[in-house]
Chains A and B, each alone.
Chain A
Amino acid sequence: MDFTHTEDRRMISDSLRRYLADQYGIEHRNQAAYEAPFHDASKWAELAELGILGALVTEDQGGFGGHGFDIAVVFEELGRGLCPEPMLGNLLALRLYAALGQSDRVDAIVAGTARAALAVHETDAFVDLDEISIEANGSGDSVTLTGRKSVVYGGNSADHILVVAKNASGLGLYEIAPGDADVMGYAMIDGGGAAEVILENTKATTLSENARGIIEAALDAGRLALCAEAVGIMDVLRDTVKDYLLQRQQFGRPIALFQALQHRLVDFSIEIEQARSIVILAASKLGAEDRALHIARAKNLIGRAGKLVAEEAIQMHGGIGMTWEYGASHYAKRLIMIDAQLGDTEDQLRTSMELAAA
């Protein structure tokens, strides 16, 4: 048994950590995260150059990673740096293009010359693929799509949008050019961009008419990424709380000397280690048959640990933790909102129960 990452993974993790610390100070990060286009487009090519997009797909597919641990190390650092770039949307799209052998698209995304997003949610189908109602009209080369896709992560800054829609044989995957649809971008409450995508007889290219399996796999890769991002954020919050308790003086001493607070910091530190462990397990299972169960378990635990850590981090800072100006409040917001993405604590609990019983 060996819990150390390979040298390659350590290198990409180190260089990404340095880059984000250097380029995304909290003020700049917030400006980029909340003002259109809700990320810093000038940094995208540099992030690609660091290899973080290539790390998300395998060598055969045009990258140099692609395993669970590759995704985990990259997203843990994105969390640590509170990076507002649309990396989740691009991961989802990239995994799908790679699974379908769309090497032109893979190459462009890996090189940082194009961005993509996955339009899967609908306002009445935010979690379940079975509830998707948009249907592909026509087949083969002459397909059109009509309906609304909601909360498309990174959809506001994508050059290509993949759309999940029903067809006669199940769930298909289609590509549209954003210019052919009505794409309305906005900031998310924790920063970064998303979009509503309104399709009206929008011309679409059929990438796969039977894509359910690869869509589920891509969403699980996304869930793993979110879990790893949460671990990076939790590490920062634990350090920030610890430093604050040592530095903040009340009643003539640092508040770190109050046992009630010490124990709370310890309790949430234990949950962070639990979170780290389950993410390692999930990462090791990304290519396994029981992938879905392990991913659901990880995201359930991450949801619970994340809520505890975020709420305690704010509470233990007192008023300062409630302010926009203070960095930790933005980390806490992101940590809470990770739960809402790609199925929350309860959704993952439902999935875990179903799959464990199967």
Chain B
Amino acid sequence: MIEINNLTFTYDTCREPALDGINLTIKEGEFVAVLGHNGSGKSTLAKHLNAILLPSGGTVYADGINTADIKRLAELRRLVGMVFQNPDNQIVASVVEEDVAFGPENLGMPSEKIRERVDYALKTVGMYEMRNMAPYNLSGGQKQRVAIAGIIAMQPRYIVFDEPTAMLDPKGRQEVMQAIKALNSEQGITTVIITHYMDEAAEAERIVVIDHGKVIIDDTPRMAFANVALLKKLGLDVPQVTELMFRLRGEGIALEYNKLTVDECAEELKKALKKQV
């Protein structure tokens, strides 16, 4: 469990706090999406989860470890992994499997054990077949999956993804989102994803919306995206199909508002098309 209590943080260069009294509990096995416009504080929040940043006020605990406890930093970093936006900045080796082995090697593990972990991690993200390739020959989506495998090889309980698909094409986005979802549902890894893509957020169990360093919405995607007007005011968006339903409801057409996917909306619209006289 990650427990964030009254967390505040102010950057040296700013007067305004980037995080202003955040209280959140992330339970084991959850899949949480964090939304917010550029500068809302969501990346700052993410960086507190594995002590890249330390609180100016309040506390962050991950499985009982206080992130400010410098003596337990190595343990914390193994517990909470982080994947960033740009895969090119996260890959260090010239062969895929060597890159994935980088973390476990630094833990001083015996080589059979490293082999085991690397193979497992690569299979988990569907990159095992490409283990002997050079990262520069891979597509963006494949590189990002290698970066994720590097984190999995450390066997974290929690992974924080900071806009993991922002630099990828549609196919790469799909591949990476599939890998992330499988990590959560099959491996039970607690997942926090920061994203600007509303369709990605719609796939989470829970959405947290941050604005001016505060939690504004903390709810299921269905309920969170029902706040179409508020989200737009915060510089955010809802999935196109959700917006369509919202606007049709505004015209007095009886539709359920909490529909998120193309299939759900199609069913709902079909009902409306039959009902009207």
Same complex:
no
Q: Which A residues contact B (CB, under 8 angstroms)? A: none
Q: State the B residues within 8 Å of A (CB).
A: none
